[in-house]
Structure 1
Amino acid sequence: MGAICSCCKAEVIDFDGPVDLYHFYLLRAVGKGAFGKVRVVQHKQTKNLYALKYINKAKCVKMRAVSNIIQERRLLEEIESPFICNLRYAFQDDENLFMVLDLMLGGDLRFHLDRSGNMKEEVVRFYVAELALGLDYLHRLQIVHRDLKPDNVLLDEKGHAHLTDFNIAVHFSHRRPLTSVAGSMAYMAPEVLAKRGYLSTVDWWSLGVMAYELLFGRRPFRGKTNSALTHSILHDRCSFPENVENIVSRECITCIRGLLERDVKKRMGCRNGIEDFKQHPWFASVDWDALETKEATPPFEPDSKRANFDATHELEELLLEDNPLKAKKRDEKRELSSLTPELRQMEEQ
């Protein structure tokens, strides 16, 4: 028999050493965002499935997003919640930064809203309750998400809601309120746009905007330009469809009005956190203990036989990617002093 060519030998993986991309099988592409892409991966040793978020370092520098990415990783290291896509591994190679997160196969709420249209009241109530638990957990850690919207809520295969994308999440302090305008404008709270200074109050407003959108298929405040949208958020009355009493209950409307209260001292969630939700009539039927342990049955279960994500992500990965993702050995000879300040910052932090 002929000798086996050394170049054909399988890569020896050290599972006891630092985690790297060689530890995972790369499976299908399922999404992309402003700062990176997402693929399903499987750990070669444990066989567990995860979502791999990877960010090109050069693009990160070009978009001036280095501090955001470092901040996102550090925040995720502090978090462990059943209603958040938790971080499981983080590592880098010479080209990319990698974050391995809990995998959610049920798709995001934007996808389901676009595919199936307006959602039933009991479905939206379930999501609002689970997300309220997740937000209350973050706020107790003094973290504000700042970008709650249907796109950033992922469902697992059973239908439980999870908050994701902590790219602009940040720690807050009561001594020094935040002033930067950050987030997706349509979901921004009035105090963000007015630049008055804000804390975790903004997440409850965004939850109200999202709940309204899931129920009625449109957002409560609209404008054809940024200035018109800003004016609507700051001044317009929150109105409901004419036949709203045939669509949702009165308790549902009072909850949304409570979340979309411009006075933060009166806004639902801002007074007593999760207790505001537990005491509200709209949630009278919710078993909060079962909800917190995920023993409550979700009212909607994603169809496991259909793809719950945009299939074009997979096609783009195959046809348009000029530098397909693959495991690469790091350049051990490269010295940090030879890197730009931004690349050195990513290496060190």
Structure 2
Amino acid sequence: MGALCCKEDAVDFDDEVDLSHFTLLRSVGKGAFGKVRVVQHKGSKRLFALKYINKAKCIRMRAVENIISERRLLEFIHHDFVVNLRYAFQDDENLFMVIDLMLGGDLRFHLDRMGPFPEDYVRFYAAEVALALRYLHRKHIVHRDLKPDNILLNEHGHAHLTDFNIAVRYSSEKPLTSIAGSMAYMAPEILMKRGYAASVDWWSLGVVCYELLVGKRPFRAKSNEALQHAIMHDPVEFPDDINLSTESMDFVRGLMTRDITQRLGFGPNGFKRLQAHAWFKAYDWNLLESKQASPPFIPDDKRANFDPTHELEEILLEDNPLKVKKRAPKRSGSNNNIKSQYSNDALPETSPEQKKMEERFLVFDYTKQNTGSASLDNRKTSKAYEEKCETRTLADEVSNNNPL
């Protein structure tokens, strides 16, 4: 009779959350410097998505401020049509964010799979995303990277906005001026560099709706310069061979007007004008907002709604697979970890970026936010950092790739 081996250590869920609290399941995505896996919390048995970012790669890509900003913003966001943060923590090698799991895949995946969507699909997603944008803008947060890749469906078919990597707080006294986002979805006012705020998200929603309806983006060019010129000057035209209602085309043009005072969604009465648009004449917005409206499309739960090569790459190509690792001890009187004994990619203890991640990427546990002095201290620190970042413009950040 063989002896038992590799018995899993008991987990104390009263301790600060870390990777040992979760069972690692399949890989479902990756970005420029991060990956996503399905995980199950060992205590609650709930499934989540684990987004993890390698610290060394984060520093090499100059993305430390973006990741910290995303972590800070997500702590103060909770909405039915947003992919919400549930836990955050770190070890010596990675930063971790545990978020709501969306099993239905992103709209880019479904667009690639089945081509242009029926109008009722696009109308439903536009309405749910609009509700998410209204919530964010009321909190003075602009997303800045709205595109099909960043709209995820849950298993029931409801749309959720994700990826707040370049989202930022804005102030009416100090408009944003940085060029940030994916260029094909950028509003003209970003490219004009005269200052902008929440108006840019509504333009991007128009580009997304056009792409979902037509199967391609409204402005295309062979160079960035030509694309910028098209975004700033060309009319929004629909192909003659696409059978679309007059109301749908008028709605898209209403979002993509270059006169932001007339843009649907934006301004004091912008959202009311959006709700009252003829394309939504049969919509019960109260039913929609309570998530009681029936989605027109339910993702197939018998097939993967993501690229299966992500899991294959994790198995075959990952030279440092994710696993639970104890943190290296800290030196007395220092906030920096000594060099990790677990990885050749560890950061030197003198790295200012490492120190910044240690101090600002705080532990978050949504189940403990109203209890305990440590949690209270974290909330105070979070609030101070939130206020410090309130008008930060990310002047040197441009995200034209697809960061996770």
Does the aligned pair in 2 maintain the 1:290–1:296 contact within 8 Å? yes
Within 5 Å, which residues of 2 pair with 1:32-111?
32-111=30-109
How far 1:62 sits from its partner (Å)?
Answer: 0.5
Q: Distance in 2 between matches of 1:216 and 1:333?
A: 56
TM-aligned CA distance change 1:3 to 1:152, over 3 Å:
closer
Q: Residue 135 of structure 2: SS of its match in structure 1?
A: helix
> 1:200-349, aligned counterparts within 5 Å?
200-244=198-242, 247-271=243-267, 272-334=269-331, 335-337=334-336, 338-349=349-360
Query: Aligned letter for 2:316?
Result: L
Residues of 1 paired with 2:222 and 2:270: CA distance?
Answer: 34
- Alignment-mate amino acid for residue 328 of structure 1: K
Report the equivalent of 2:345.
none
Alignment partner of 1:175: what SS? coil
Per the TM alignment, residue 276 of structure 1 is displaced from its structure 2 partner at its CA by: 2.0
Tell me if structure 1 keeps the 8 A contact 2:48–2:100: yes
Q: CA distance change for structure 1 residues 220 and 237 in 2, over 3 Å: closer, same or farther?
A: same
Q: TM-score by structure 2 length?
A: 0.83
Q: Structure 2 counterpart of 1:252, which letter?
A: S
Number of equivalences: 345
Alignment partners' CA distance in 2, 1:14 and 1:158: 33
- 1:130 alignment partner AA: E
1:186 aligns with one of 184, 187, 192: 184
Between the aligned partners of 2:144 and 2:23, the Cα distance in structure 1 is: 33
Contact 2:263 2:270 in 1 (8 A): no
**Aligned equivalents of 1:63, 1:293: Cα separation in 2:** 40
Decide whether aligned partners of structure 1 residues 283 and 344 sit closer, same or farther in structure 2, where only a CA change above 3 A counts: same
Instruction: Report the CA distance between 1:336 and its aligned residue.
Output: 2.9
Decide which moves more: 136-145 or 278-287.
278-287
Find the aligned partners of 1:89 and 1:149 in 2 and give their Cα distance.
25
Q: 1:10, 1:28 → 2: CA distance?
A: 19
Q: Name the SS of the counterpart of 2:89 in structure 1.
A: strand
Q: Describe the superposition over 1:16-53 as per-residue Cα deviations: whole angstroms up to 9, x where unpaired.
A: 01000000000000001123100000000100000000
Q: TM-score, normalised by structure 1?
A: 0.96
Q: Distance in 1 between matches of 2:28 and 2:201?
A: 26
Conserved? CA contact 1:136–1:273, under 8 Å = no
Partners of 1:299 and 1:3 lie apart in 2 by 54
Query: Identity percentage over the alignment?
Result: 67
Q: Offset at 1:116?
A: 0.4
Instruction: Return the letter of the residue paired with 2:164.
Output: F
Contact 1:72 1:169 in 2 (8 A): yes
Structure 1 residues 2 and 238, CA gap change in structure 2 (3 angstroms) = closer
State the shift of 1:249 in Å. Answer: 1.2
- AA aligned to 1:196 is R
Within 5 Å, give how 1:135-174 maps onto structure 2: 135-174=133-172
Mapped to 2, the partners of 1:276 and 1:13 lie a distance apart of 52
Offset of residue 341 of structure 1: 0.4
Cα deviation, residue 251, structure 1? 1.0
For residues 283-307 of structure 1, the C-alpha deviation after alignment (integer angstroms, 9 at most, x for no partner) is 1111111111111000001000111
Distance in 2 between the 1:317 and 1:37 partners? 10
Q: Cα distance 1:295–1:4, how it changes in 2: closer, same or farther (>3 A)? A: closer
1:108-130 deviations in whole A, cap 9, x for unaligned? 00000000000000110000000
- Once the two structures are overlaid, the 10-residue window that deviates more, 327-336 or 58-67, is 327-336
SS in 1 for 2:105: coil
The alpha-carbon deviation at position 57 of structure 1 amounts to 0.4
Contact 2:91 2:327 in 1 (8 A): yes
CA–CA separation in structure 2 for the residues paired with 1:4 and 1:142: 56
Runs of 4+ in 1 over 6 A off after TM superposition: 1-5
Paired with 1:218 and 1:116, the residues of 2 have a C-alpha distance of 13
Which sections of structure 1, spanning at least 5 residues, go unmatched?
none
Take 1:237 and 1:87, find their aligned partners in 2: how far apart are those partners?
Answer: 39
Secondary structure of 1:17's aligned partner: coil
**Match of 1:42, SS?**
strand
**Residue aligning to 2:396:** none
Pick from 114, 120, 126 the counterpart of residue 124 of structure 2: 126
What code does the residue aligned with 2:335 have?
L
The letter of the residue matching 2:10 is: V
C-alpha separation in 1, matches of 2:329 and 2:15:
16
Bigger shift: 267-276 or 42-51? 267-276
Offset of 1:102 from its aligned partner?
0.3
Matches of 1:4 and 1:119 in 2, distance apart?
54
**Structure 2 unaligned blocks of 5 or more:** 337-348, 361-404
Whether the 8 Å contact between 2:264 and 2:271 is mirrored in structure 1 is no
Q: Distance in 1 between matches of 2:7 and 2:121?
A: 52
